[in-house]
């Protein structure tokens, strides 16, 4: 999310306001793809399948992940072999890339992970393996429309359709029950996460550096939600019926710490939050209390909630 000039803000909010334009200006910065999803040998040539996938071809068959150097993968072939990739279609006609990582065979929980801005599945793959291994959870992640090799363009409506498609793929293809799914959203990823969590009950929800709404990011003094506001997490979080852990850095330079506090105060099932003193927007994972709190949330807080 980048800062906007006065003229850009006036154009966004006065001419007249358009939620999709607000969303695009404030949030979406898809990087150049750092990976490809290629077919297994029996399903056709790489060039043919990759082209048809982008243009609207079939997403059936078995696929293999190819990471470029820009993905900066930190593990070896054994860990790479734990990653299964697939394409699934959304209700809005896009095909999104999904990644299932068996970090911890036999693990009870799977994180449905909605990543932050300006990254894709290739860049996140090493983080997913490290996180899942350390908290004893499997990971199911996806790229938003227009990110990575997912088709379409990024938009608020597509975000909601994207996570719905990922949820259905996790439920049907892998047979994971809602009581074993933890929804995890980071930064812009908290938008589809809160939306899904407000409509479905699951094991738990984690909101990492969340925003209250697009207007409140652009105009910190905004006190109410306007009809043209984008990403209205603040209006949906009260509908979450699953235990919810909110994590935010006190020195977040992108989404102010006050957003996390406001969501915590509005969420009826919020557990003890994690406010990371001195952390910014992109370095919370480097603090030891991050993993400690996640482990406690999964091993202790969720047990208490079930009882």
Percent of the chain residues past pLDDT 90, beyond the cut: 74
| Model pTM score | 0.86
Segments of the chain scoring below 50 in pLDDT: 1-3, 8-16, 43-59
Query: Quick one: fold of 6-306?
Result: Rossmann fold (3.40.50)
Catalytic residues, which ones? 187, 252, 281
* The pLDDT of residue 218: 79
* The pLDDT of residue 171: 97
- Are 192 and 185 in contact by the 8 Å Cβ rule? The answer is yes
Tens-digit pLDDT profile for residues 177-200: 999 999 999 999 999 999 999 999
Average pLDDT score over the chain: 87
* The pLDDT of residue 305: 61
Tens-digit pLDDT profile for residues 101-121: 999 989 999 999 999 999 999
* The pLDDT of residue 163: 98
Rounded Cα–Cα distance for residues 67 and 62 (Å): 17
């Amino acid at each position: 999310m980048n800062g906007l000039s006065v003229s850009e803000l006036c154009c966004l909010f006065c001419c007249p306001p358009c939620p999709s334009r607000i969303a695009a200006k404030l949030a979406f910065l898809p990087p150049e793809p750092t990976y490809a999803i290629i077919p297994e040998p029996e399903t056709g040539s790489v060039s043919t399948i990759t082209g048809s996938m982008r243009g609207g071809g079939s997403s059936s068959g078995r696929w293999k992940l190819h990471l470029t150097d820009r993905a900066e993968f930190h593990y070896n072939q054994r860990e790479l072999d734990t990653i299964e990739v697939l394409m699934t279609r959304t209700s809005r006609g896009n095909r999104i890339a999904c990644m299932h990582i068996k970090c911890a065979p036999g693990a009870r929980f799977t994180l449905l992970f909605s990543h932050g801005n300006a990254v894709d599945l290739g860049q996140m793959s090493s983080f997913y393996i490290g996180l899942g291994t350390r908290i004893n959870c499997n990971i199911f992640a996806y790229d938003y429309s227009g990110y990575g090799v997912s088709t379409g363009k990024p938009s608020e409506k597509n975000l909601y359709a994207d996570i719905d498609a990922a949820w259905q793929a996790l439920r049907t293809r892998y047979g994971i029950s809602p009581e074993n799914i933890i929804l995890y959203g980071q930064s812009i990823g908290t938008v589809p996460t809160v939306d899904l969590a407000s409509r479905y009950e699951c094991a738990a929800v984690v909101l990492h550096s969340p925003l209250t709404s697009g207007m409140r990011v652009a105009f910190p003094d905004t006190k109410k939600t306007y009809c043209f506001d984008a990403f209205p997490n603040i209006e949906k979080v009260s509908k979450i019926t699953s235990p919810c852990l909110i994590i935010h850095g006190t020195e977040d330079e992108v989404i102010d710490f006050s957003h996390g506090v406001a969501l915590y105060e509005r969420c009826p099932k919020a557990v003890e939050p994690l406010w990371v003193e001195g952390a910014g927007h992109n370095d919370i994972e480097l603090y030891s209390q991050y993993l400690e709190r996640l482990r406690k949330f999964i091993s202790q807080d969720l047990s208490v909630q079930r009882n």
